[in-house]
């Protein structure tokens, strides 16, 4: 797959799309200088209340003649043409130009251009299998021993592998271990959606045989006998993402989170129990919701009168058991999907408005 870069191009912003309005931040800056490490999502958040909605604005003016990447040190300014906000981009030596924000797709290898999301956070999740069936790994080559016959966690150590084909010599493999099952309860019953494949290490085949010999080139966990290997792909990874709303309302829940024991925060990877079978697509944006808290309404149906000035009796009433009231669900964050499978999707928490937990509900925005 080619690496695809979406360009942020010169644009005029309209505040409406159909019946829905695009709300500009009340405290937006007049100008913003693009920095190394910025993202398109973060830059849009300087100006828009809902930064994931910038593609909707781009679609208002889809024609583009001269697309330009956004780079560090570019200055983005917000002004108004009548009631319509206008963004201008200034680049050193090129002056200022009024531009349309419109997405275009091109194959490009530029590394300094600003990505939509923090790409280094999700890069490891873009090439690994991540999700497998219970028996899928049984057909993969497996490790029978290391040279020293103990756990291996350092590059340069030799391991021995069975199940490789004769053309494996010189090829690079990744090592995995079958992980826990992904389980969903959001359909009202327990459903096993697949199994996590835990990334362990990388290795290169140095000699073919039965067993073959490989050398560990990188390791994040200790390699043990029985770990499985899969050939690394030469495809370029998909590194740019365009936020979008799902074509229909999709609800589900968070069923796993990378390295999380309690609360989930911004820029952490989460697993959703909805996938392409339900219509989830790369770039879809979901709100994360926590069930409304149940509180007591101690005032409803009160028959106390202030005329008798019986303060003691009134306070006693207020201490009595009132009616249970469920507050509305609270949106605790925003997740953008960056990889999909049939039954699950991987997403990145772009905004954490409050504590996010496993099993919190999700709903397409």
Confidence category of residue 122, pLDDT binned at 50, 70, 90: confident
Tell me the pLDDT band of 235, cut-offs 50, 70 and 90.
low
Contact (Cβ atoms closer than 8 angstroms) between residue 51 and residue 44: yes
pLDDT value, residue 61: 30
More confidently predicted of 148 and 328:
328
Give start-end residues of each CATH 2.40.10 domain in the chain. Answer: 127-231
Q: Contact, 338 vs 122, CB < 8 A?
A: yes
Range in 4-8, 87-91, 304-308, 330-334 the model is least confident about: 4-8
Instruction: Quote the pLDDT of residue 36.
Output: 86
CATH fold of 251-292+328-364 reads M1 Pyruvate Kinase; Domain 3 (2.40.33)
d(CA 319, CA 321): 7
Percentage of the residues of the chain whose pLDDT score is greater than 70: 70
Model confidence at 67, pLDDT cuts 50, 70, 90, reads: very low
Helical H segments across 182-278, by residue range: none
Question: How remote is the C-alpha of 342 from its chain's centroid?
Answer: 17
CATH 2.40.33 domain extents, the chain:
251-292+328-364
Architecture of domain 127-231: Beta Barrel (2.40)
206, two tokens: 């140095």
Helix (H, G, I), strand (E, B) or coil at 339: strand
pLDDT of residue 76: 77
From CA 272, how far away is CA 251, in angstroms rounded? 10
What's the pTM?
Answer: 0.74
Mean of the pLDDT values across residues 144-173?
Answer: 84
Q: What is the pLDDT of residue 170?
A: 93
334: tokens are 């925003």
């Amino acid at each position: 797959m080619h690496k695809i870069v979406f360009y942020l191009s010169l644009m005029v912003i309209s505040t409406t799309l159909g019946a829905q309005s695009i709300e500009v931040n009340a405290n937006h800056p007049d100008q913003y200088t693009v920095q190394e490490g910025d993202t398109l999502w973060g830059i849009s958040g300087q100006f828009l209340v809902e930064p994931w909605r910038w593609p909707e604005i781009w679609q208002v003016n889809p024609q583009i003649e001269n697309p330009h990447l956004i780079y560090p040190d570019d200055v983005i300014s917000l002004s108004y043409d009548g009631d319509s906000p206008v963004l201008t981009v200034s680049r050193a030596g090129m002056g200022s130009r009024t531009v349309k924000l419109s997405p275009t797709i091109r194959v490009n290898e530029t590394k300094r251009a600003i990505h939509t999301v923090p790409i280094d956070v999700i890069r490891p999740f873009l090439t690994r299998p991540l999700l497998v069936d219970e028996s899928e790994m049984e057909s993969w080559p497996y490790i029978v021993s290391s040279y020293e016959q103990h756990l291996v966690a350092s590059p340069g150590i030799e391991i021995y592998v069975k199940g490789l084909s004769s053309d494996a010599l010189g090829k690079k493999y990744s090592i995995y271990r079958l992980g826990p099952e992904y389980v969903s309860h959001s359909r009202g019953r327990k459903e096993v959606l697949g199994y996590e494949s835990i990334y362990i290490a990388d290795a290169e085949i140095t000699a073919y045989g039965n067993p073959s010999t490989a050398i560990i080139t990188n390791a994040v966990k200790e390699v043990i006998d029985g770990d499985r290997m899969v050939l690394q792909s030469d495809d370029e990874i998909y590194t740019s993402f365009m936020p979008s709303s799902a074509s229909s309302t999709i609800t589900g829940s968070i069923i796993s989170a990378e390295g999380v024991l309690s609360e989930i925060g911004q820029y952490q990877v989460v697993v959703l129990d909805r996938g392409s079978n339900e219509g989830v697509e790369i770039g879809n944006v979901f709100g994360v919701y926590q069930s409304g808290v149940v509180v007591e309404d101690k005032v409803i149906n009160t028959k106390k009168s202030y005329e008798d000035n019986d303060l003691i009796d009134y306070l006693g009433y207020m201490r009595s058991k009132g009616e249970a009231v469920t507050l509305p669900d609270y949106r605790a964050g925003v997740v953008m999907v960056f990889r999909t499978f049939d039954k699950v999707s991987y997403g990145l928490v772009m905004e954490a408005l409050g504590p996010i937990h496993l099993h919190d509900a999700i709903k397409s925005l």
